Amino acid sequence: MRPISEENWDDDGSSRTGGLLGRNGAGKTSTLRTIARMDEPNLKTGEIWLGGVAVHEMSDYQASRAGIQLVPEDRRVIPGLSVEENLVLAQIAKPIGWELDRIYDHFPRLAERRKQEGVTLSGGEQQMLAVARALARDIKLLLLDEPYEGLAPTIVQEIEKILQEVKQAGITTVIVEQNAVAALKLADRAIILDTGEVAFKGTAQEVLDNEELRHEYLAI
């Protein structure tokens, strides 16, 4: 695997939204989990850097404290806890990120359901909770694995709006999503993986404009 670094996502140091794309089995989820230090790469030749810090030398909890948060596909809402308790639990270990009032301002559905048990929320609301829980930490890099999976189009639009607000807040986001077109419309830049190797790196618009590239690597 080629080194994973900030230069893959931005050229001027500003926050960006990146789409990490590819067919099933290309290595997208494995890449996110490796960046979050939840998995070790099969080949010990890659490096992960964030703000000049060698993330590849960290454990998972160290990566979390350094500002890397992964929202997994299964969301992992904690059973038995309310929406608010899920959020408060994320802030037990410092440094913390968004305060509850700010979270509720951006996620009004969660504000309405703050006392409801998290696992009883709809799929879209659980996805909102998973993203909000990540923002409750002091976050520099948000990793999203299939954020639109199984969601109705209207809910996808709500999640997209929230992710735009996250971007405006200066947080760099990397999205893995089977709905490649939706991810590309949100993203500034894109990386396409093919069996663990970088097959393309450039702007999201380049991918949208290149039918041959989309057909070869994304089957769209």
Query: Can you give the CATH number for the domain in which 113 is found?
Result: 3.40.50.300
pLDDT digits over 81-116, tens only? 999 999 999 999 888 899 999 999 999 999 999 999
2-32: per-residue pLDDT in tens? 444 444 444 444 558 999 999 988 999 999 9
Q: How many domains does the chain have?
A: 1
Say what percent of the chain tops pLDDT 70: 92
* 176 belongs to a structural domain: yes
**Residue scoring higher pLDDT (142 or 179):** 142
In a domain, 123, yes or no: yes
pLDDT value for 103: 96
CA angle 59, 61, 65 (to 5 degrees): 115
Determine, yes or no, domain membership for 52.
Answer: yes
Give every CB contact of residue 160 below 8 A, 6+ residues apart in sequence: 182, 186
Looking only at the bridges linking them, the beta strands covering 172-176 and 17-21 are parallel
Confidence of residue 43 (pLDDT cuts 50, 70, 90): low
What does pLDDT average to over the chain?
Answer: 89
**181: which residues sit within 8 A by CB, 6+ positions away?**
208, 220
Does the structure show a pLDDT above 90 at 42?
Answer: no
Q: What integer is the mean pLDDT of 60-71?
A: 93
What is the distance between the alpha carbons of residues 171 and 163, in angstroms, rounded to a whole number? 10
Measure the CA–CA gap between 99 and 153, rounded to whole angstroms: 29
Q: Would residue 1 count as lying in a domain?
A: no
Residue 109: is it exposed, middle or buried by C-beta count within 10 angstroms (0-12/13-18/19+)?
middle
Give the whole-angstrom CA distance, residue 190 versus residue 9: 8
Among 146, 1, 149, residue whose Cα is nearest residue 70 = 146
pLDDT at 125: 95
pLDDT band at 40 (very low <50, low <70, confident <90, very high): confident
Cα-Cα-Cα-Cα torsion 75, 199, 6, 183, nearest 10 degrees, comes to: -40
Examine residue 92 and state whether it is found in any structural domain, yes or no: yes
- Average pLDDT of span 207-213: 93
Helix, strand or coil for residue 80? coil
pTM: 0.88
Place of tokens 């999203």: 144
β-strands 49-50, 53-54: how paired? antiparallel
pLDDT at 207 over 60: yes
Average pLDDT over residues 118-128: 95
Which residues form the domain of 209? 6-218
* Amino acid 95: pLDDT: 84
Tell whether 95 is covered by a domain: yes
Q: CA nearest 18: which of 172, 182, 181?
A: 172
Q: Which has the closest alpha carbon to 190: 28, 19, 25?
A: 19
